[in-house]
Structure 1
């Protein structure tokens, strides 16, 4: 995660820094100047990706008898399940997590 709060993958951070001779680079989302090496790991995103990986490893035929409801989605759709919500979150996050990867 960059100091501006946006998340960019390590490959793209390295590419951005290399393009700028290893120095400062601009956040691909908000254009804030970032000092190379100041980024931190996005633990929330890593946790979400781990959950999705575990969900993908489960057989599709297994349906929990009491699915965990997503509090946010349940307000909109009483039938929303956590597994569906987290997959949607990851799809959205993967698209926006590293905007540089999609524009490069």
Structure 2
């Protein structure tokens, strides 16, 4: 079972959480073309490797947070709060005190 470390509540089992899809996606302006809106709404990365995801602690604090997870091994590489910058996973994570590494 996947275990996630909620940055607010600590480590919990996956059934307490709801997957929210890929994180760090920028919404296009209202004037964007239909093709740009279609890309925003339907096109997502599906890498074999690290994916930055959003998760909701649905049966806990009810807050959203971000996770960097390896899609091959399911290893959680970093957990960080919404609004924080995407961490660099080269071993040099900015704001290390605010990032929970598992």
Q: TM-score, normalised by structure 1?
A: 0.28
Higher helix share: 1
Name the structure, 1 or 2, with higher relative contact order (CA <8 Å, separation 6+). 1
Higher strand share: 2
Q: TM-score, normalised by structure 2?
A: 0.28
